[in-house]
Amino acid sequence: MSFTAFYKRNLGFYKLAIASNLEYRMNFFMDALLQPSITSIVEMVLWMAIFKGAQATTIGGFDQNSYLAYALWATFIARATVNWTYEFKMIEEIDQGSINGLLVRPMSYYEYYLSQLLGYKSITTGFSLLFPIGIILATGLPTQWDRFPAAMLLVFYYLFFVYSISFCIASLAFFFNKVQSLTVSKNLAMWLVTGELFPLDLMPDYLRKIFLMLPFSSGVYVPIGFLTGRIGWEFLWHGFASVTVGIIFFSALGAFLWQKGMRSYAGTGA
Amino acid sequence: MSEKFQYAIETEALGRSFQTYKKPEGLINSVKGLWNRETIEKVALQKTNLKIEPGKIIGLVGSNGAGKTTLLKLLSGLIAPTTGYAKVLGYEPFQRDPQFLRRISLLLGQKNQLWWDITPLDSYALLAKIYDLDEIKAAKRVQELAQILNCKHVLETQLRRLSLGERMKMEIIGSLLHEPDVLFLDEPTIGLDIVAQETIRHFLSAYVKNKGPTVILTSHYMDDIASLADRLLLISKGSLVYDGTVQGFVANAELIQTVTYKIVNQPEYKEEVKKADLNEFLVQLTQKGQIENIKIEETDFEDVIHSFLQKESRLL
């Protein structure tokens, strides 16, 4: 198989995700803009209330503006680095047998949804980031713009890690059929360990160290902490390294589960 | 086909069984099922030996749950066999070699395989990329096939907005775009009205004559099988119970013919007579009096298969 064929095919999947999502305009605007905007406003108000209640100018060594910038970015970046849509779709396809129509095509299921996830995230994130960028520019909340490309690169790389976990969970549907609750549990845990709920530097020191060692922190805390000036370049490099290890681990696990699952797959439902 | 095979499809003791679990009735048993489930093995396809020459159309017929779709899934590489092996175009299907997948097509009449949210034209453009086809030639081929199927007007409408018949035509174009050497058609006319069934039947017949792929066709409409198949495979309870021609099956079946007759000064009668006993019945009839009118209705393939499936269903 030539690289050109591989590239063209995956570009096709990438564009498919964009076209499919833009087909439903209302849902697209809600998903890309309204939902994260509401969440970020709630979180920012919450931080204002915390500072007012604490009657302190800093918490954990950072002032209110620093937390507001973190909350604003974290909501949007967390949405960019979570994968509900395609994970649910994959589980449902395996459970209901509609995966059959894809398995008879000369392509891998892994690449099919990975490229779609990247396409979907490109269009929704590209659009939704206009909101925090606009707010930051208007309010002057702390953000180091020269760090923006590197932070976004880590976010993009982290998507491969997220997808490799999704692929493992979806493969479990071969054995247990309905495993959506695992997706929900995983995403709830991610809420904490990525640093979406609050910055990891507010955690007890031993937990903070553990979480920073794991690749999950590269989903929110590391890119946002780096972008808002809470942490330096060394955390970013460590983020790339830990995400790489995570991708290798979960890809190997996913390949194993997939092969075992396909052996037992009954193809029912279609 | 680039290579020459004696058999396009060959199986040796090919079989598949599934593990499932028994769920006795009631809520208590649902709770018990949390920690204790009795697994049972269900044989979907018994060990099957099959040899199919290239370019043949095979009609695969059986009642629901007989094992037709399991056989198609095994041959297209969707599921792994639990016994034996299959070779399709020289490939082991379950290995799912991309070269193999490029040369087959599986059309599932009850499932959409094109993309729901985009137009058929966008779907075909994507399929051209998946199958690494020349995009200009593929686009031209789409127009040709759409012209024959009389559905060019819906090519730019999202799949979800099309009627069942239009969607099936779109699916057929999608499954033939890469000119497969082996075509698995699972209920291609299911749910369609008579006109749409006829259109698709004629189209497939012409396509097969022109391109010569090997086809395995399952259908609940016996007209599909009778008009298209060179060879008939009857499957029952996971086993092949007949392998031969449609005509051969009809000839060997215990045919029942309906004889409607009227003897002068008597009312009209209608009787069902075995074909083998027909001569004797007619001799006896002439002895009853002067025959005013007589009509003998021939049993067709549909009736024979229907009676076969009914018998098999009772045995299940």
Residue B238 backbone dihedrals phi, psi, to 5 degrees: 85, 5
User: CA-CA distance, B87 to B7, in Å (whole number)?
Assistant: 9
What single-letter DSSP state applies at residue A59?
Answer: E
The 10 Å Cβ neighbour count of residue A67 is 28
For A21-31, what is the mean pLDDT? 91
Per residue in A114-149, is it b (16+ CB within 10 Å) or e — as a string?
bbbbbbbbbbbbeebbebbbebbeeeebbbeeebee
- pLDDT category at B165 given cuts 50, 70, 90 is confident
DSSP state of A61: T
Measure the CA–CA gap between B220 and B298, rounded to whole angstroms. Answer: 21
C-beta atoms of A100 and B78 within 8 A: yes
Closest residue, chain A, to B69 (C-alpha): A270
Looking at the partner chain, which of A5, A100, A266 has a beta carbon nearest the beta carbon of B132?
Answer: A5
Residue A211 in tokens: 């979480």
Q: Do the chains contact at B129 and A98, CB–CB below 8 Å?
A: no
Q: Measured between beta carbons, which residues in chain B are less than 8 angstroms from residue A100?
A: 73, 78, 106, 108, 111
**Two structure tokens written together for B142:** 């789409």
How far out from the chain centre does Cα B13 lie? 21
At B313 the pLDDT is: 61
Within 8 A by CB and 6+ apart from B67, the residues are B44, B45, B46, B235, B237, B238, B239
- B101 has a pLDDT exceeding 90: yes
**Average pLDDT of chain B to the nearest whole number:** 87
Q: What are phi and psi of B216, to 5 degrees?
A: -115, 125
Q: Which of A198-202, B88-92, B187-191 has the lowest mean pLDDT?
A: B187-191
CA A55 distance to own-chain centroid: 34
Show which residues on chain B lie within 8 Å of chain A, measured between beta carbons: 18-19, 73, 76-80, 96, 98-99, 101-102, 104-106, 108, 110-113, 115, 117-118, 122, 125-126, 129-132, 158
Q: Would the pLDDT of A270 be above 80?
A: no
Domain that holds residue A121: 3-264
Q: Do A105 and B76 touch (CB under 8 A)?
A: no
A269 within a domain of the structure (yes/no):
no
pLDDT for res A236: 97
Instruction: State the average pLDDT over residues A210-239.
Output: 96
Q: How far is A187 from chain B (nearest CA, A)?
A: 25
Token couple for A165: 């976990």
- What residue ranges do the domains of chain B occupy? 9-243, 252-315
- Give the whole-number percent of chain B exceeding pLDDT 90: 43
Which pairs count as long-range contacts for A177-184, CB under 8 Å and 24+ apart, including other chains? Answer: A177/A95, A178/A91, A178/A95, A179/A91, A180/A88, A180/A91, A183/A84, A183/A87, A183/A88, A183/A91
Name the band, by pLDDT with cuts 50, 70 and 90, for residue B266: confident
Summarised one tens digit per residue, pLDDT across range A131-189 is: 999 999 999 999 999 999 999 999 999 999 999 999 999 999 999 989 999 999 999 99
Probe site for chain A from B113, B123, B216 (most A CB atoms < 10 A): B113
Residue B117 has a CB neighbour count (10 Å cut-off) of 16
Number of structural domains (chain A) is: 1
Contact state of B108 with A270 under an 8 Å Cβ cutoff: yes
Average pLDDT over residues A210-233: 95
Query: Shortest Cα distance from B130 to chain A (angstroms)?
Result: 5
Q: Which 8-state DSSP code applies to residue A182? A: H
Is the pLDDT higher at B181 or at B197?
B181
What phi and psi values does residue B168 have, to the nearest 5 degrees? Answer: -65, -40
Tell me which of A98 and B308 has the higher pLDDT. A98
* Distance from C-alpha of A136 to C-alpha of A76, rounded to nearest angstrom: 13
> Given a cut of 50, is residue B316 above it in pLDDT?
no
Q: Nearest Cβ partner of A12 from B99, B129, B158?
A: B129
* Residue from the list A9, A100, A266 with its beta carbon closest to the beta carbon of B111: A100
How many whole angstroms separate alpha carbon B235 and alpha carbon B223?
18
pTM of the model: 0.87
Write down the pLDDT at residue B3. Answer: 65
Is A177 an interface residue toward B (CB < 8 Å)? no
Confidence check: pLDDT of B255 > 80: no
What are the E-state strand segments in A52-111?
58-59, 62-63
User: Which among B102, B112, B117 has CB closest to A106?
Assistant: B102
| For residues B125-143, average pLDDT | 95
Question: Could you tell me the two tokens for A47?
Answer: 């931080």
DSSP string, A214-266: SGGGGGTHHHHHHHTTSS-HHHHHHHHHHHHHHHHHHHHHHHHHHHHHHHH--
**Interchain proximity B101–A265, CB inside 8 Å:** no
Residue A221 lies in a domain: yes
Contacts of B99 in chain A (CB under 8 A): 106
Over range B118-126, report the average pLDDT: 95
A103 touches chain B (CB under 8 A): yes
Would you state the structure tokens that stand for residue B293, as one six-digit string? 């009118």
Answer yes or no: is pLDDT of B229 > 80.
Answer: yes
Non-local (6+) Cβ contacts of A86 within 8 A are A113, A116, A117, A120, A163, A166
Cβ of A16 and B111 within 8 Å? no
Give pLDDT, residue B303. 72
What is the reported pLDDT for B267?
Answer: 86
Residues B212 and B215: their CA atoms lie apart, in Å, by 9
Superfamily of domain B9-243, CATH level 4: P-loop containing nucleotide triphosphate hydrolases (3.40.50.300)
Which of A16, A263, A264 minimises the CB distance to B118? A16
Residue A234 lies in a domain: yes
Residue A193 included in any domain: yes
Q: Which residues contact B207 (CB under 8 A, 6 or more apart)?
A: B176
| ipTM field | 0.88
User: What is the average per-residue pLDDT within B89-108?
Assistant: 95
Residues of chain A found within 8 Å of residue B45, distances taken between Cβ atoms: none
Secondary structure letter of residue A33 according to DSSP: I
- Identify the pLDDT of residue A166: 97
Burial profile A243-261: b = 16 or more Cβ within 10 angstroms, e = fewer? beebbeebbeebeebbeeb
- Which residues in chain A have their CB less than 8 angstroms from residue B105's CB? 104
Q: Give the 3-state DSSP-derived string for chain B, with helices as H, strands as E and coil as C.
A: CCCCCCCCEEEEEEEEEEEEEECCCCHHHHHHCCCCCEEEEEEEEEEEEEEECCCCEEEEECCCCCCHHHHHHHHCCCCCCCEEEEEECCECHHHCCHHHHCCEEEEECCCCCCCCCCCHHHHHHHHHHHCCCCHHHHHHHHHHHHHHCCCHHHCCCCHHHCCHHHHHHHHHHHHHCCCCCEEEEECCCCCCCHHHHHHHHHHHHHHHHHHCCEEEEECCCHHHHHHHCCEEEEEECCEEEEEECHHHHHHHCCCEEEEEEEECCCCEEEEEEEHHHHHHHHHHHHHHCCEEEEEEECCCHHHHHHHHHHHHHHHC
* Predicted confidence (pLDDT) per residue in A44-85, tens digit: 999 999 999 999 899 988 999 999 999 999 999 999 999 989
Q: Is A16 on the interface with B (CB under 8 A)?
A: yes
The better pLDDT of the pair B273, B122 is held by B122
Structure token digits, residue B104: 């087959």
Cβ–Cβ contact A260 with B under 8 A = no
Work out whether strand B83-88 and strand A62-63 pair parallel, antiparallel, or are unpaired: unpaired
Residue type, B167: R
Would you say residue A246 lies in a domain? yes
Which residue is closest to B184 within chain A, CA to CA? A104
Taking alpha carbons only, the member of B58, B48, B8, B53 closest to residue B246 is B58
Instruction: Measure in Å the smallest separation between the Cα of B296 and chain A Cα atoms.
Output: 43
Amino acid at position B278, single letter: L
Given an 8 Å threshold on Cβ–Cβ distance, is B101 in contact with A264? no
